[in-house]
Chain A
Amino acid sequence: MKPKKMFIIFLFLMIVVVPVAGSWAEDGEGSVGLLDDDGKEDFDTFFEEESGYDPLESMNRVFFQVNDKLYFWVLKPVNRVYSTVVPIDLRQCFGNFFDNIAAPVHVINNLLQGKFTDATIDFSRFLINSTVGVLGLGDPALRSFGLEPKPEDFGQTLGVWGLGEGPYLCLPLIGPLTVRDSFGFAGDAVTHPVTYVSSTYLDSTAYYSADKLNLLSLNPDLYEEMKRYSLDPYVSMRQVYLEYRRNKVLDKKVENNIINDL
C-alpha cells in the first residue's frame, strides 16, 4: 500500500473515530502525583484509581498467550543467534541507527505538541548524528554535545491533545497498546522515513522487526523477569505499559528535571 493511501485511511480513522474516542473517560490518568494523595490513613482511596479500561480482557489474554509462545518459540531463539553473531557494541550502534532514522517522527511530534525547543534539539541531534555520527551509528550529539534525545511519538501527541487512552489492547506480534496508541502507531508508520524509501509492507515489516529484535537483544531479560516476578504477568504487563505511557504523555521526566534544579 502506498503511504498516501495509508494516510487517507489514517485520516478517516482520525475523523470518524476520534470524536467517539474522545468521550472515553480519562479516569486513570492522574497517577503521577504520588505526593498528592492524603497520607496513609487514606491509603485505600489512593488505590481506588481506575486501573485502565480493559473491556477486551478475555481476547487480550488469548493474544498475550500467543505472544508468549511466539516469544519462546521464535523470538528468543532468533535473538540468541543474533546476539552471538553480532557483538554488543555493534548492536548498540544499530540501536543508535534506528533511533536516528526515527528522528523525523520525533521532530514532527514535538512540533505538534508545541515543544519547539525539543524539536530543535531532536533536529540538531539528527544533523549531528547523521554526519559526524556516521549515518547515525554513533551518538556524538549526546556524548560530545550533551544533547539528550527528546523522543515524542504520535500516541503521546494524541494524549497531549486530550484524547483519552481508550480500551487496552494486547495484539499479536505488536504487544500491548491502547486504542489511542494504535492510532499513534499508524501515525508514526506514516511519518517514518522508511515508508518514503520503500512503500511495500514487506520492507516496513522487515525494518520494524529488525528494530524490535535489536531492541530485545539489548534488554534480553526484561520479559522473562517480569514473568518470573509476577503472579499474573498479563496484569503486570498491562500496568507497566499503561503507567509508562501515561508518564510519557505527562512528561514526568520534566518533573524530574525540576527536582534537579532545587
Chain B
Amino acid sequence: MLLRNLKKIIMMKYIYALLALLVCSFWSDPSALALGGPTEQLRPTLNVVIDILLDPSLKGSEYKVERRTKIMGHVTQVFDFREMSKRVVGREWKALSPEKQDNFQKIFTKLLENAYIGKLENYSGQEIQYIGERLKDDRAIVSTQIENNGQLIPVDYVMIKEGARWMVYDINIEGVSLVRNYMEQFKSILRRDKFDGLVKLLEEKNRTFE
C-alpha cells in the first residue's frame, strides 16, 4: 500500500517536471504560445504603464523625466514608432537618408510622448475595458473603452504583426486616427516647407512642452 502510494507520488512528480519543461521551452521560444495574440501582448504593457502612472513614488513634476523614461521603456516594446514615422511622412520617407529617418523617428516619438503621455498623466485610474479584437492576416484592431467624466470613450489600437510580436502603429480615438491626423497636417507642411522645414517645426513644437 505504502509502496504503491510512493510510486504514485513519484509518477506525479515526473509528470509535473515534464510539464514544467514543456512550459519552459515555450517560454524561451518567442514565436511560441507565450506571447499570445494582439490583446494578450498589448494588455500587460498598458497595465505596467498605468501602474507607473499611479505609482505614488513617481508622482509630481519633479519625477517627470524618470517617470517618462520608464513609461517609454515599456511603450516601445509594443508601439512601433518607426512604422508611425514612416506613415506620417508618407511617400517621401523612402527618399530620406537613414540618418534623417532616425532623427525624424526620434523627434516624432518625442512629440507623441509629450502629447499623449502628457495627457495620460492626468489619468486617475479608470479601468481600461477590452471590448474585443479583430484579426485580418498580419493586422489587428484591439478595441478598448475608457471612461472620462462619465462618458465612455472608445480607443482602438491598430496593430501589425512583426515576427511573433504585435506592434501598435496607430491609435483611433472615437474612430479618429492619430497617425492620419498628423499625416494630414504634415502633408501641407511638407509641400510648403519641405522635409527640413517639417523637422524644424517639430523641434519647435517639442520645445514648447519643456
Contacts and interface: CB of A to CB of B under 8 A. Distances in A.
Interface of A: 31-32, 34-36, 39-40, 43-44, 46-47, 51, 88, 92, 218-219, 225, 228-232, 235-236, 238-240, 243-244, 247, 252-253, 256, 259-260, 262
B97 interface: no
A225 B143 CA distance: 23
A252 B138 CA distance: 22
Interface string B60-89: 000000000000000000000001001100
B42 interface: no
A232 B205 CA distance: 11
Interface string B115-148: 1100100000000000111101111110100000
Given A44-B90, A225-B119, A236-B181, A256 B143 contact: yes
B43 interface: no
Given A35-B139, A236-B181, A229 B115 contact: yes
Contact of A235 (B116, B132, B140, B185): B185
Contact of A259 (B131, B172, B183): B131
Nearest to B119: A225
B185 A32 contact: no
Interface SS, A side: helix
Contacts, number: 97
B150 interface: yes
Interface size bracket, B side? 35 or more
Contacts of A238: 184
B189 A231 contact: yes
A218 B151 CA distance: 10
B205 A231 contact: yes
Contact of B202 (A225, A231, A253): A231
Contacts of B116: 229
